Structures are given as C-alpha cells and as structure tokens.
C-alpha cells in the first residue's frame, strides 16, 4: 500500500477496468529457400521491389523462392520474412583493408565476388570526408573484362563511349562519410544501416581510407556444396559463418524465434526434399501459432497417388502446380502454387477476416494449370484433404483456389479457417493477458480477466467470425470457483474456460428444387 507519512491530500490512480486485448496479425508469412544474393538471417520484406533490392532476381535452376515471393505480393500479401538458405560450408567475400575500413558481403556465397568498392573524395570537398561507391553485377550483366571494368559512375568522355561499359545491377553511393566515432555520418554506421550488399567494420584504428578505383571485394565468396539439401533448412541461432557481422540465426531455427509469423512455407520442398515439409509442419505443431502451406510434387497426374504427406491440423496441402509468366526467359514456367496461396490467405484475412475460408479466390498471375482438375478428380481428392486449383475460365471466372481443408482427419479441425481462427484467438489472448502473471489470484482478478476476454470475443463475434445471433450463443467465458479448485489456487494456477462457436464455410451449396402445380396450392 502507499505510505502516508505526513498530513495532506493524496491523489492516486488505480486500474480496475478490463485490460483490452489486441488481435494479432494473421497474414505475416515466412518463406525459406535459396536466393541470388543477400543476408541469411530472416529479414522482413514488405514489397516485391524491396525483395529484388535485397535478394536479387530469379534463379530458376536453383530455387522457386523468388517466384513464390512475387506470387505472394501479387495476390495481396503485405509482409514476409525471408530466410535465405545456403550450404553452411559456404564463405563470404571480404575486401582487404581500405585504410582501416574493411568490407564483407552481407551474406555468404559466390555472388559476393562480383561486388566492387570505390573510395573517392567527398561531394562536400572536405578533406576529412570521403565517398564510398559499391556496385554489384549479376552473372547476366557481368562485363567481359571484369574485374577490370570501365567505371560506370565516370563522366569522362572515353568512359561514356566505351563499348565495354556496363551499368551494374546495383549501385550504392554513400557520400560525405567520416571516421569520427559517434558521428551520424560515420562510415560504418551509414553503410551498415543502408547497404544491401556489404557490411563494414573499422580495424584497430579508424584512419581515413585512401582513394581507390572500383576494386573487387574478393574471391573468397563460395556457395559450398550444391545442390541445397533438406538438412540445410534446419539452421541454428549462432553467428552466421562464425561472423557476428553477418547476423545471428538462420533457417527454421531463426524463423522459430519470430513470434509475428503466422504462415510458414518452403517452396523448394518440392525439389525432392519432403523432409523440409515435415520440418515446417513440426514447427507449426510445436509452436501452435502458425500454419503451414505445403505443395504436391511436379508431374503427379495419377489421382490415386496424390495425398498429403501426413495427418496434421496445422497445415494445408495444394495441387496442382500453376503456370506463370517468367520474364527472365520471356516464356511461361511451372511453379508450385504455395507462394500465391499464401498471398490469397493474406488477401482474404485483410479483406474479410481470418474466419473466411481462403478459397473461391482468383489466383492472380496464374495463366494455366499443370493438369486440369475436373470435378470427378476433386471428388476423390477433396475428402483426402487435397485442396485443388481449378480452371473456370470457360465460365469467365478465371483460375481459382477451390478447396479449404486442412490435412487433418479430425472433423473438428477439417477446415482451414476454423483452425486459423483458433490460432488467432489463442495467440491474441495469450499476448493480451501477460499482465495477469503474478497478480493476486482472487475474485477481483478473475472478474478483470473475464471482462478482458469477453471484450475481445465480443469484437470477434461482431466481425462475423462466430456463429449465433447473441453473445451467449457465440461464446462463453468462465473464470471463477467453478473452473479452479483450492489446490489450483494454492499452486498458483488461474484457469479460465473459454468456448467459441466458429463459423464453418459453405463447402457444399445445395438448392433443392421441385415442381409445383396450381392444383397443389388448392
């Protein structure tokens, strides 16, 4: 209690009302796979353009991840964590000291060998300042005389007219930098905060680097063994390549630590790496706060052989592959639909809510299907928990996602929207009631918990996510002597019993029509 030691008027604030519970995000995805370049620690990406800036373009012979990310954003996705997968035996390219300033490619791989760094005078012409220019060439745009390139930033007439001049894929210029420690324009601070290609560090001292032309970052960058195997997706939470500068945590181990994720997929699972699907499902079942999106392998036309990899209520299985336009080859290409499906999940959540089944939605970007799925085939696949993409272009409705089932044989968790609604409610209540821990476990606390949870579920009901015309029909919240014994209270347990009535999708719409006659009305 407050202390009152001298006479006077004391004004105090007390909290007795319900603590509001805020709903968590349901549309933040995480994708794992190989990329052209970029960091290995999970990074939040919020647009297709931002992904290209960090991770580069398509690598069709290596990974489907880039196509999946594009499909995610094309279909309405807004946030995705990217976890780049590379052989742990790979290494990063590192520059020799430029003065006392060193540069290291922001991720391991041979791509770092195509980074070049230039040191020149600052634009403000102060002798204590300098400029760092960094460029990167993909293999498609690599100059024929690399690394003795024609400076693409030069304005000299000879350089502007040189036929060997090539514009880089990425050019970063950081001007008016200083060696002064703690300054906002300190070279290491600016580069590490803004560069999508390198990380910088000072050596034993921080002397100003001497001018140098564009110089190759190094030749130590290596991809390691190829191709990527399923074991490489496991990852860990250690410094990447033993170098803290490159970040900490990679693969599924790093993804596990990110609480905001609610959708999880690895598009490259279809490259004969079904153990990756199992690992993704394992994480979803362990954490119980995210949902897996799995795809069938390519070329499966026999309906008898198509079925989910295992029974699970924390994942959904999709078939067949879709055909999209690939600008890198100026032609169409078959890819697994998982990235596009994740975008549909996000779009449905944003436009309607997590309670709406992510089905009967157009797959944006799909120009055709690997195999047509007639109704007779889906009659067999749907009860197995195989969600199909169907072609309804003959009806003018395009190519649509036409299934909303989990991989579970338990009828209670048969539908994707029901499972994900419970994930949303459970995670929201979990995060919104952390204030309860170590509070006095008595009737006033129980009443506050009831009011907080009831207020949250009232909003869920009004959004259309729960059955029933009244709150009593839609949900109940109990937290009193009927839910706890004295033994529970003595052992520090507060038990709140919650029941909700989720809406189920109208999967089978049946209109029963009969003939009637005038005589039948008399």
Write the pLDDT tens digit of every residue in 361-407: 999 999 999 999 999 999 999 999 999 999 999 999 999 999 999 99
Clarify whether residues 400 and 254 are in a common domain: yes
Clarify whether residues 179 and 277 are in a common domain: no
Clarify whether residues 445 and 380 are in a common domain: no
Clarify whether residues 260 and 137 are in a common domain: no
Q: Which two tokens stand for residue 35?
A: 């990329």
Domain boundary among 184, 216, 248: 216
140 occurs within a structural domain: yes
* CA angle centred on 299, ends 295 and 300, rounded to 5°: 70
pLDDT above 70 covers what percent of the chain? Answer: 98
Q: From residue 128, how far is each of 125, 383, 412 by CA, in Å?
A: 9, 71, 69
Radius of gyration of the chain from Cα atoms?
29
94 occurs within a structural domain: no
pLDDT above 90 covers what percent of the chain? Answer: 84
513 occurs within a structural domain: yes
- Per-residue confidence at 521, pLDDT binned at 50, 70, 90? low
Helix (H, G, I), strand (E, B) or coil at 334: strand
The CATH number assigned to the domain holding 79 equals 3.40.50.11780
518 occurs within a structural domain: yes
Instruction: Using CB atoms within 10 Å of the CB of residue 301, give its burial: 0 to 12 exposed, 13 to 18 middle, 19+ buried.
Output: exposed
Q: According to the model, what pLDDT value does residue 117 have?
A: 94
Q: pLDDT tens-digit profile of 25-68?
A: 999 999 999 999 999 999 999 999 999 999 999 998 889 999 99
- Whole-angstrom distance, CA of residue 261 vs CA of residue 283: 12
- Whole-angstrom distance, CA of residue 306 vs CA of residue 288: 26
Domain boundary among 413, 431, 465: 413
- Per-residue confidence at 15, pLDDT binned at 50, 70, 90? confident
Name, in order, each residue with C-beta under 8 angstroms of 268's C-beta and a sequence gap of 6 or more: 32, 33, 34, 63, 64, 65, 85, 228, 276
Q: What is the DSSP letter of 202?
A: E
96 occurs within a structural domain: no
CA torsion through residues 409, 413, 416, 419, sign = negative
Clarify whether residues 257 and 400 are in a common domain: yes
Q: According to the model, what pLDDT value does residue 2 have?
A: 76
What DSSP element (H or E) covers 79? strand 79-84
Q: According to the model, what pLDDT value does residue 11 have?
A: 87
DSSP string, 402-464: E--B-B-S-GGG-BHHHHHHHHHHHHHHHHHTGGGTTS--SHHHHHHHHHHHHHHHHHHHHTT
- Whole-angstrom distance, CA of residue 94 vs CA of residue 112: 8
Cis bond upstream, residue 320 (ω within 30): yes
Nearest residue to 336 (alpha-carbon basis) of 388, 298, 376, 390: 298
Instruction: Using CB atoms within 10 Å of the CB of residue 428, give its burial: 0 to 12 exposed, 13 to 18 middle, 19+ buried.
Output: buried
Q: According to the model, what pLDDT value does residue 103 have?
A: 93
Q: What are phi and psi of 517, to 5 degrees?
A: -125, 165
Clarify whether residues 359 and 249 are in a common domain: yes
* For range 152-163, the mean pLDDT: 92
Clarify whether residues 370 and 515 are in a common domain: no
Q: pLDDT tens-digit profile of 460-480?
A: 999 999 999 999 999 999 999
Q: Which two tokens stand for residue 5?
A: 């030691």
Q: What is the DSSP letter of 98?
A: B
Nearest residue to 454 (alpha-carbon basis) of 439, 472, 481, 469: 472
418 occurs within a structural domain: no
Per residue in 366-389, is it b (16+ CB within 10 Å) or e — as a string?
Answer: beebbbebeeebbeebbeebbbbb
Tokens 């195989």 sit at which residue? 386
Clarify whether residues 14 and 53 are in a common domain: no
- Whole-angstrom distance, CA of residue 427 vs CA of residue 424: 5
Clarify whether residues 393 and 246 are in a common domain: yes
Tokens 């979990």 sit at which residue? 430
Q: According to the model, what pLDDT value does residue 331 have?
A: 94
Helix (H, G, I), strand (E, B) or coil at 348: helix
Q: What are phi and psi of 349, to 5 degrees?
A: -60, -40
Helix (H, G, I), strand (E, B) or coil at 287: helix
What is this structure's pTM?
A: 0.94
- β-sheet with 315-319: strand ranges across: 43-45, 79-84, 28-33, 263-265, 291-295, 315-319, 386-391, 399-402, 361-362
Contact 56, 374 (CB under 8 A): no
Alpha carbon dihedral 69, 70, 76, 78, in 10-degree steps, equals: 50
What pairs with residue 500 in β-bridges?
A: 475
More confident residue, 17 or 300: 300
Q: pLDDT tens-digit profile of 256-310?
A: 999 999 999 999 998 888 999 999 999 999 999 999 999 999 999 999 999 999 9
- Whole-angstrom distance, CA of residue 116 vs CA of residue 129: 20
430 occurs within a structural domain: no
As a whole number, the mean pLDDT across the chain is: 93
Domain count, the chain: 3
Clarify whether residues 124 and 202 are in a common domain: yes
Helix (H, G, I), strand (E, B) or coil at 250: strand
pLDDT at 204 over 80: no
450 occurs within a structural domain: yes
Q: According to the model, what pLDDT value does residue 471 have?
A: 95
- Domain containing residue 74: 28-86+228-413
What pairs with residue 173 in β-bridges?
A: 133
- Whole-angstrom distance, CA of residue 446 vs CA of residue 449: 5
pLDDT at 421 over 70: yes
Name, in order, each residue with C-beta under 8 angstroms of 102's C-beta and a sequence gap of 6 or more: 94, 95, 96, 200, 201, 202, 203
Clarify whether residues 188 and 234 are in a common domain: no
- Whole-angstrom distance, CA of residue 279 vs CA of residue 285: 10
Domain boundary among 157, 182, 216: 216
- Whole-angstrom distance, CA of residue 422 vs CA of residue 500: 9
Clarify whether residues 399 and 453 are in a common domain: no
- Per-residue confidence at 252, pLDDT binned at 50, 70, 90? very high
Q: According to the model, what pLDDT value does residue 478 have?
A: 97
Q: According to the model, what pLDDT value does residue 461 have?
A: 96
Q: According to the model, what pLDDT value does residue 522 have?
A: 54
- Per-residue confidence at 96, pLDDT binned at 50, 70, 90? low
């Amino acid at each position: 209690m407050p202390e009152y030691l001298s006479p006077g008027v004391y004004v105090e604030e007390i909290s007795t009302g319900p603590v509001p519970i805020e709903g968590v995000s349901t549309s933040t995805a995480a994708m794992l796979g190989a990329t052209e370049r970029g960091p290995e620690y999970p990074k939040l990406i919020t647009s297709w353009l931002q992904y290209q800036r960090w991770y580069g373009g398509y690598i069709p012979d290596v990974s489907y991840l880039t196509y999946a990310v594009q499909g995610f954003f094309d279909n309405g996705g807004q946030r995705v964590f990217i976890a780049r997968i590379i052989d742990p035996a790979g290494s990063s390219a590192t520059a020799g000291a430029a003065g006392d300033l060193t540069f290291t490619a922001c991720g391991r791989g041979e791509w770092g060998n195509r980074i070049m760094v230039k040191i020149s005078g600052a634009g403000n012409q102060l002798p204590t300042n300098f400029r760092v220019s960094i460029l990167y060439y993909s293999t498609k745009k690599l100059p024929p005389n690399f690394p003795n390139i024609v400076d693409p930033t030069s304005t000299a007439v000879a350089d502007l007219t040189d036929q060997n001049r090539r514009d880089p894929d990425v050019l970063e210029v950081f001007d008016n930098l200083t060696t002064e420690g703690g300054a906002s324009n300190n070279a290491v601070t600016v580069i590490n905060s803004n560069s999508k290609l390198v990380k910088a560090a000072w050596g034993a001292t921080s002397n100003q680097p001497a001018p140098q032309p564009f110089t190759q970052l190094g030749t130590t960058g290596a991809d390691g063994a190829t191709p990527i195997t399923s074991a490489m997706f496991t990852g860990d939470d250690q410094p990447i390549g033993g170098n803290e500068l490159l970040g900490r945590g990679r693969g599924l181990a790093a993804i596990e630590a990110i609480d905001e994720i609610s959708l999880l997929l690895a598009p490259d699972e279809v490259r004969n790496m079904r153990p990756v699907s199992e690992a993704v499902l394992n994480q979803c079942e362990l954490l119980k706060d995210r949902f897996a999106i799995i795809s069938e392998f390519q070329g499966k036309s026999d309906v008898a052989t198509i079925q989910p990899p295992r029974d699970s209520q924390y994942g959904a299985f999709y078939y067949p592959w879709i055909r999209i336009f690939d600008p890198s080859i100026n032609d169409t290409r078959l890819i697994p639909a998982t990235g596009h499906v994740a975008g549909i999940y996000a779009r449905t959540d944003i436009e309607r809510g997590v309670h709406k089944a992510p089905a009967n939605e157009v797959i944006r970007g799909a120009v055709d299907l690997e195999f047509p799925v007639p109704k007779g085939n889906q009659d067999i696949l749907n009860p197995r928990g195989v969600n199909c993409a169907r072609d309804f272009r003959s009806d003018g409705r395009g190519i649509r996602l036409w299934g909303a089932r989990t991989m579970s044989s338990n009828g209670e968790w048969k539908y994707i929207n029901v499972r994900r609604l419970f994930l949303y409610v459970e995670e929201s209540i979990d995060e919104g009631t952390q204030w309860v821990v170590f509070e006095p476990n008595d009737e006033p606390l129980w009443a506050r918990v009831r009011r907080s949870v009831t207020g949250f579920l009232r909003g869920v009901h009004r959004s259309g996510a729960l059955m029933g015309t009244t709150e009593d029909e839609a949900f109940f919240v109990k937290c009193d002597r009927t839910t706890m014994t004295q033994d529970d209270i003595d052992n520090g347990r507060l038990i709140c019993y919650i029941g909700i009535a989720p809406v189920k999708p109208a999967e089978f719409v049946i209109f029963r029509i009969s003939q009637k006659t005038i005589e039948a009305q008399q």
